[in-house]
A and B are shown apart, each in its own frame.
Chain A
């Protein structure tokens, strides 16, 4: 019995909790991608760097507050910086839309042209982030490191294995839940949200019924800015902030959005968790879990790590390919334009 408890603790400590935190970050990112796809109808390659930009502004404000001596006690100061990150990102995205995307939208350009344009935007944003904050690792988390540390857990329960729950993980999960609830309330209950969904379902019909497309697009960008900046800041807080990491996050984010069904918000959240759980579970050496569950003579000799962490992209990629082969519209029915 104790063995099973120990195994569960190990599994939670190394797989469940990190995967839930990572999944929340991916879900927030994928929600942004999926909203842009639904409303603006293109895959936004600049999304990773939008997240980087939001995270960067958050970091700059966090440093400013820290230098003023303003902190949040046991919570990281970055939480105060996030609203400013969102505002700056929204300003950047609205400016980009005005200067770049609007032209192609008016022209009704082919979606693939918009994808290439978003690639150009990605270049500029990436350059901007590196220009302002540099290409290096930045640390900006402060406050209490753990909600419950491994040692506390051990003395509390008397189990052999410890369970650490980092503050950043807790904050990530709570923030993601709040954001998602607000987003769904907005999409399903408010007038603007409903007009957004109508616009996404059938643009012509929505225009006929008097929905203002410019307003829908503007609101979409602002929501995307909120999601992207928060996701970027949370990822940076939980792991670390490096500008190039966000380019690599693009693949799991897209995979989450597609696995769930592009254009479908619920799908994006489900996809984020599918990708995160598979990635963490497959790259984690399961020996520590199995050693509690199996009789001693059957104990595995290797680490039972199915795939080295170097190949974590391969996991999201494989899931993506399987979905593309067997269910191209995703788990939840997405658009198939």
Chain B
């Protein structure tokens, strides 16, 4: 059996698993796995770019995903005009002062002669700048958050569709690349400081930046309502309710013998799947082209032997920065897509264990260094992530079948089934790394 036959076979097996979910459980679940699988595949392409191509260890995936989600809100929601009038510009002025302070400090660091005066100037600029920033910013934030806190209480986004902003669904699609740009910006900042040092430092720095990004998304209510969530984001696809009310749609559904409510939700999910597949194909093609281009060869040369590559005149740190920013941008795009799919931004749901580490499992299991492997891993692991719980529940039922109905151990085991997921994912990661470190579809 040739390698390509084996690979097609692997994809076929995963397709069967998802289709099987459709036949056995429901098509809604199957399509949910498909859509989230597509998004996960894009995220693991991003991580694969960093780890598989360049050997960079990014533990902050969840932060870049959250930035993408933030972009979805900031682009596709309508602006809250009252909030802007109340204090929006003051917030912006505050932020500009904050940014100016940091830039001034960096400028002083770069230009002044080393010595006590330099340290003193830097610190005084930072302290004065900080208080100016807080003066404008705090007032603005208070004013913005006071505007109808139950409904809005935030600045809103850039969707200028006015009253019927929901019909400007294309803004959701516009937000995807914007999510990528935001994530790229954050990645540039972090890469600039931590790259070129030891590999673990990048890991810990990315862990830190992702914690901070999530804290910002959670607690800055003026930005995206924080844990109060923003819901009802515009969609690039039709609404279920519109489909159900459309006579031609229900006629068509009845003609094939279906139920309009189920059919409408399936049609919506399929439309999303179409959009996501298009994005996946674009990114996958680009990643494949990059992998086989001279640039891709250079990246792998750097990964395999940094010193040799540096001796050949390659600027290792700059190339690392480049690939780190690109990979994070892809994660940002996927994050924006996910928020669009959910139609809401729920900052509380951005958990490192769910995102960062799960994406890593996908890349390692699929095959690091191989784009198709990353895609396969994305679908397979997300399928397992969803299905481990019901399987675990069945297993526990079987194990505890002999015990009494009210046995405390039995009840505890059944109640803890939800936590089987983490355990299983960790075991899969450890086993794959031990026995098949190159993954399902190894690098050529």
Contact = CB atoms under 8 A, between A and B. Distances in A.
B277 to A, nearest CB: 30
Nearest to B413: A131
A134 B415 CA distance: 9
A127 B57 contact: no
B364 A116 contact: yes
B422 A115 contact: no
B212 A127 contact: no
A308 interface: yes
A123 B425 CA distance: 7
B433 A113 contact: yes
Given A100-B434, A116-B360, A251-B207, A314 B426 contact: no
Given A127-B419, A313-B208, A317-B208, A115 B357 contact: no
Contacts of A121: 426, 430
B10 interface: no
B interface, by DSSP: helix, strand, loop or mixed? helix
A320 B138 CA distance: 26
Interface string A101-144: 00100000001110111011111111110111011000000000
B315 interface: no
Interface string A252-278: 001100100010000000000000000
A131 B433 contact: no
A161 to B, nearest CB: 27
Contacts of A42: 200
A4 interface: no
A244 B353 CA distance: 10
B207 A254 contact: yes
B200 A43 contact: yes
A208 interface: no
A124 B437 CA distance: 18
Contacts of A130: 416, 419, 422
Interface in B155-192: none
Contacts of B55: 112
Contact of B433 (A120, A247, A308): A120
B330 to A, nearest CB: 20
Interface of A: 42-43, 45, 100, 103, 111-113, 115-117, 119-128, 130-132, 134-135, 244, 247-248, 250-251, 254-255, 258, 262, 302, 306, 308, 310-311, 313-314, 316-317, 320-321, 324-325, 328, 336-337
Given A113-B437, A130-B419, A131-B416, 18 more contacts: A42-B200, A112-B55, A112-B199, A116-B433, A120-B429, A122-B426, A123-B426, A126-B353, A127-B420, A127-B426, A131-B419, A131-B423, A251-B204, A310-B215, A311-B215, A317-B212, A320-B204, A324-B205
13 contacts: A43-B204, A113-B433, A119-B429, A122-B357, A126-B426, A127-B423, A134-B415, A247-B352, A250-B207, A302-B138, A313-B208, A324-B201, A328-B198
